[in-house]
């Protein structure tokens, strides 16, 4: 689940192109006139964001903190009005815009603004918005690689992986829910992180399925209090309250929602661009928000999530790797090595069947992990070349 609480300086090299997650996109009817209206709407939305980003650039240059916070909030609101629509239209462009907007939104939540870092993210956002606008204007926006048989086979391979992971998610969530319903706090705690793994590996796909992501994975304050449920509601009950006495309805609903997720992903047709964007999204979110410890704020099992994000991104990469090897063998080898290096860094924090508590980590530890994840993100962002 995406959030905007804390910022970490992520690698800015490598541009994909696009945008991200949230509200309903514009209603589109069929026919040439509708297509033209759709393109005009996208152009208008992108130009509005570019205008705001330009104003933000001036505010950053002048160190106007109140104006900076206000303009980033405006960017977020503008993005939410059409991000879902753009994600469906071109997931790679979507991922590229989110790559810069998410850490911008996170950065202005800090009590003291890092103007230099925010300026770098805003400059990256302006570039990403311009690239997306150019794609709309040249009518090249869309799911690249759709007609490439090898990429279609790669997308089918990744879809099979997503289905397998969602099936395991149902299985492990069922065990977790059984422990909650039995009132066994210790057993439920031991089963919490193992269930989370299967969600975190396929999170970009889950986030594309309407409000299911919020129902399953919303953190406190991500949604109105009366709508909050899912994993993190139960997480708080386990680690803060030490009791699951009133968690029965939440547990049953959680199992119902992950079951619905599994049924839904079985019917999906995943396009090659979604595979590429999914890999990048996982690492972008890991580096910009999960590295802060916000995801598992009560259980401090964040390293489990981070490891699962890396594994999920690697699965997406492995699906398209044969195609990339034919197009750019050096890039394929570089990405493969970076994944191995990042997993080696994370392995240093393993203990028993899991990982150390995130609360035990020092600043140097989180910096090392962040750098390892970012070292993958930079070359991985060049994956879009296989869609050309």
pLDDT given at position 34:
52
pLDDT given at position 257:
98
Are 104 and 125 spatial neighbours (Cβ–Cβ below 8 Å)? yes
The model's confidence at residue 24, banded by pLDDT at 50, 70 and 90, is very low
pLDDT given at position 10:
37
Q: What is the pLDDT of residues 53-70, one digit of tens each?
A: 999 999 999 999 999 999
Tally of helices (H runs) and strands (E runs) in the chain: 15, 2
The pLDDT of residue 5 is above 80: no
Q: How far apart are CA 132 and CA 126, in angstroms?
A: 10
Among 90-94, 114-118, 235-239, the least confident range: 90-94
Q: What is the pLDDT of residues 144-159, one digit of tens each?
A: 666 789 999 999 999 9
pLDDT given at position 125:
96
Burial of 194 (0-12, 13-18, 19+ CB in 10 A): middle
Are 108 and 118 spatial neighbours (Cβ–Cβ below 8 Å)? yes
Which domains are assigned to the chain? Answer: 32-137 (1.20.120.660), 149-387 (1.20.1420.20)
Q: How far apart are CA 280 and CA 10, in angstroms?
A: 13
pLDDT given at position 21:
36
Q: What is the pLDDT of residues 193-247, one digit of tens each?
A: 999 999 999 999 998 888 899 999 999 988 888 899 999 999 999 999 999 999 9
Average pLDDT, the chain: 87
Q: What percent of the chain has pLDDT over 70?
A: 89
Q: How far apart are CA 212 and CA 165, in angstroms?
A: 16
pLDDT given at position 29:
43
pLDDT given at position 9:
36
pLDDT given at position 6:
37
The model's confidence at residue 1, banded by pLDDT at 50, 70 and 90, is low
Are 172 and 194 spatial neighbours (Cβ–Cβ below 8 Å)? yes
pTM of the complete model beyond 0.85: no
Residues 230/234/239/244 CA torsion (nearest 10 deg): 180
Q: 376 or 29: which carries more pLDDT confidence?
A: 376
The pLDDT of residue 378 is above 90: no
């Amino acid at each position: 689940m995406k959030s905007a609480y804390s910022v970490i300086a992520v690698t800015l090299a490598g541009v994909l192109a696009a945008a991200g997650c949230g509200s309903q996109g514009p209603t589109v009817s069929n026919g040439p006139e509708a297509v033209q209206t759709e393109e005009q709407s996208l152009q208008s939305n992108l130009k509005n964001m570019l205008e705001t980003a330009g104003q933000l650039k001036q505010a950053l240059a002048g160190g106007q903190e109140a104006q900076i916070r206000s303009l980033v909030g405006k960017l977020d609101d503008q993005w939410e009005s059409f991000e879902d629509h753009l994600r469906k239209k071109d997931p790679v462009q979507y991922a590229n815009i989110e790559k810069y907007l998410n850490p911008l939104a996170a950065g202005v939540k800090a009590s003291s603004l890092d103007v230099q870092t925010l300026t770098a993210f805003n400059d990256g956002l302006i570039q990403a918005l311009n690239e997306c606008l150019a794609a709309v204007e040249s009518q090249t926006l869309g799911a690249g690689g759709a007609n490439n048989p090898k990429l279609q086979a790669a997308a089918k391979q990744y879809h099979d992986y997503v289905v397998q992971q969602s099936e395991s998610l149902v299985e492990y969530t069922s065990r977790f829910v059984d422990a909650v319903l039995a009132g066994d706090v210790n057993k439920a705690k031991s089963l919490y992180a193992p269930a989370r793994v299967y969600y975190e590996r396929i999170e970009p796909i889950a986030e594309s399925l309407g409000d299911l992501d919020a129902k399953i994975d919303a953190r406190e304050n991500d949604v109105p209090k009366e709508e909050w449920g899912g994993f993190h509601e139960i997480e708080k009950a386990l680690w803060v309250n030490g009791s699951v006495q009133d968690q029965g309805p939440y547990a049953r609903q959680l199992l119902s929602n992950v079951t619905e997720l599994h049924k839904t992903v079985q019917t999906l047709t995943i396009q090659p661009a979604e595979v590429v964007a999914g890999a990048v999204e996982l690492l972008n979110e890991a580096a910009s928000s999960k590295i802060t410890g916000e995801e598992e704020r009560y259980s401090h099992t964040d390293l489990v999530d981070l490891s699962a994000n890396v594994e999920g991104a690697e699965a997406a990469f492995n699906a398209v790797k044969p195609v990339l090897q034919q197009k750019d063998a050096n890039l394929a080898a570089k990405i493969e090595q970076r994944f191995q290096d990042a997993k080696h860094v994370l392995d240093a924090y393993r203990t028993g069947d899991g990982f150390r508590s995130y609360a035990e980590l020092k600043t140097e530890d989180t910096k090392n992990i962040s750098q390892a994840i970012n070292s993958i993100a930079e070359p991985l962002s060049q994956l879009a070349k296989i869609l050309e």
